Amino acid sequence: MCGFTGIMDIRGRRDIDTRIVQHMSDLLTHRGPDGSGQFDTPGIALGHRRLAILDVAGGQQPMFNETGSVAVVYNGEIYNFLDLAQELIARGHRFQTRCDTEVVVHAWEEWGEACVDRFRGMFAFAIWDSVAEVLFLARDRVGEKPLYYSVTGDGFFLFASELRAVVAGLPNAPVMDAEAIEDYFALGYVPDPKSIYAGIYKLPPAHTLRVSRAQGLSQPRRYWDVRFADQPRRLSETCAELLERLQAAVQMRLISDVPLGAFLSGGVDSSGIVAFMAQASSLPVKTCSIGFDNPDFDESAYATMIAQRYKTDHLCEIVRIDACDLIDRLAIAYSEPFADSSALPTYLLSAIARKRVTVALSGDGGDEVFAGYRRYVFEHRQGQIRKLLPQGLSRPAFGMLSAIYPKLDWAPRALRAKATFEALAADPVAGYFRSVALMPTPLRQRLFSGDFKAQLRGYSALEVLRCHGDRAGTTDPVAQSQYIDLQTWLPGGMLTKVDRASMANSLEVRTPFLDHELIEWAASLSVDLKIRGSAGKYVLKKALEPHLPAQTLYRTKQGFSLPLKAWFEGSLHQRLRDALDGPSLRDSAIFDMTFLKGLVAQNASGMHNHSRILWALVMFDAFLRQRKVDVLPHRKTMAEAAAQ
């Protein structure tokens, strides 16, 4: 796993100040502590930081073809690189290394932009073809690896693996994007293709980007999409095929020239991955987990049970999370506001794993691919209820019920029907938005100041989900929700969390459930194979019954939940007060500070639990503080620097 940077002069062949590229690359040292490389020629410069995984001695980057006319900087793993290398050798290409990076170079020579269709893995890369004078960038199908870019007013194209590196290369401090701020407080992250800064973009998953001196900057091009279908299948045959496909996905992710292990939480997904790793290995699998000193949030006993069953070399550390200390570390690692509190234990788990291995497999993606989240079950039920009434009657009827039913946040879940009625009164995408939103739209509108709402001009983060919902190609509420998650939450939330937390600790994480061929196959399964009764991942659990105990398969899903409410009453109380009283939030002119203080008072009273909102606020404050360090110093333009 690595990090890379680059600058290209779109307008001509002006010299690039290599000191700028070097500084950008230095900010990615955590992604690649094992080495660095740089290439520059009039009009373009590339920088690279390497975390050596394959061909440790021979895989330095930038990497070139035989003539030196094609150069690549690359981050990721292409798991079918051995097969591709054999095919390319048969076509006359000569290889100098044993690493997958060189496959990218020769694949570009052989297939051009269509090379991405041949790759099976996680990747982001930039290829410079000096003969065609084309810079070609690509990102993997689901967005496991990040890629940011920007264009300056004087015609320089900048790109990097992380946002901080792009910001460091800009001539002036970027301004925050108002729509991205709305997205963040609605979703808890900034979705592709936006970043928190206007004018800096993320290349979306499954997209390529072409920059040429002849034609300039193209629009990002989608090269892959998933399509959901409802193909009836027998359960027994489906389980057998699922195991075969998952085993193959695990097997191809075991190739490594450095120590390799796995995250083991004790849940279904990570336990299944460890089971197949153990069956494929002659040596004990190195597994890592963390436990918490609070037993209400600790599931390490379940991880230990799986470790004992498969005789893994298991390490479990009981940790006490110092949220105040980690908040500022996360603000640096993520470069833009990120509100998923499970980033804290993910960061700590990555640090523990890095003590023993350089590569770790994880169970991430199982919930998105096989419909494991509770919200999918709710969407399925709501879809069935909507069918009982004509659309012209259902919305008014449920709208009336939502209006008269009291809001009982403090009551048991069974009595909190108001949100359900509100979701049923909305269309499916709007209803799903309600289920995933960090806070309801009316509350979010009160959060912002009048001036900031004027900047938004009526924009709502709901538009993000609507855009993807329209592309889903299905009206089934579960399939549509899965598609939306694959385009938004998965790359913007889950995979961002794992990539930044792991790479901050120089650890590579591989995710078998996100193998694109497995995703395509799972998308063809009917909903009744994914959801039965009140539980999701039905077919996955049935398939894993011979490999995992029922206690693992059928216990209540827990995940990396944290005691946020207790923290805000204790260790985070002062940090929250400092955020409210300090200049960062107040001077941003984004918030209605009186309303913010009212939220804190409501949370403290116990009648409303606003802890997720307050956590998002604290993380935004941490981002603003770090921004003063990373962004605000003024820099000269590249043209001025090159002229000196």
- Amino acid letter for position 356: R
Q: Which residue in the list 2, 115, 239, 288 is annotated as catalytic?
A: 2
Cβ contacts of 399 within 8 Å, gap of 6 or more: 421, 425
Task: Point out which residues pair with 361 in neighbouring strands.
Answer: 262, 510
Buried b (16+ CB within 10 A) or exposed e, 504-526: bbbbbbbbbbbbbebbeebbebb
| 449 conformational bin, left if phi > 0, alpha if psi -120 to 50, beta if neither | beta
Residue 374 burial (CB count, 10 A): 14
Structure tokens belonging to residue 434: 């309600």
- Amino acid letter for position 361: L
For tokens 């984004």, the residue is 590
506 within 8 A of 33, measured Cβ to Cβ: yes
- Amino acid letter for position 176: M
Annotated catalytic residue 316: no
**Helix 235-252 / helix 516-523 crossing angle, nearest 10 deg:** 170
DSSP 185-225: HHHSS--TTB-SBTTEEEPPTTEEEEEETTTEEPPPEE---
- C-alpha torsion 284→288→292→298, nearest 10: -60
Task: Point out which residues pair with 359 in neighbouring strands.
Answer: 260, 508
CA angle, 103 then 277 then 297, to 5°: 115
DSSP letter (8 states) at residue 532: B
Please report the sign of the dihedral spanned by the C-alpha atoms of residue 354, residue 347, residue 49, residue 25. Answer: negative
| Count of helices and strands (H, E) across the chain | 31, 18
CA pair distance 163, 7, nearest whole angstrom: 14
- Helix or strand or coil: residue 640? helix
Structure tokens belonging to residue 437: 């939103």
CA pair distance 180, 188, nearest whole angstrom: 11
623 within 8 A of 331, measured Cβ to Cβ: yes
CA angle, 244 then 249 then 253, to 5°: 145
**Helix 374-388 / helix 428-436 crossing angle, nearest 10 deg:** 150
DSSP 388-456: HS-HHHHHHHHHHHHHHS---TTS-GGG--HHHHHHHHS-HHHHHHHHH-SS-HHHHHHHB-HHHHHHH
538 class by beta-carbon count within 10 Å (0-12 exposed, 13-18 middle, 19+ buried): buried
61 class by beta-carbon count within 10 Å (0-12 exposed, 13-18 middle, 19+ buried): buried
526 within 8 A of 396, measured Cβ to Cβ: no
Looking at the annotation, which residues are catalytic? 2
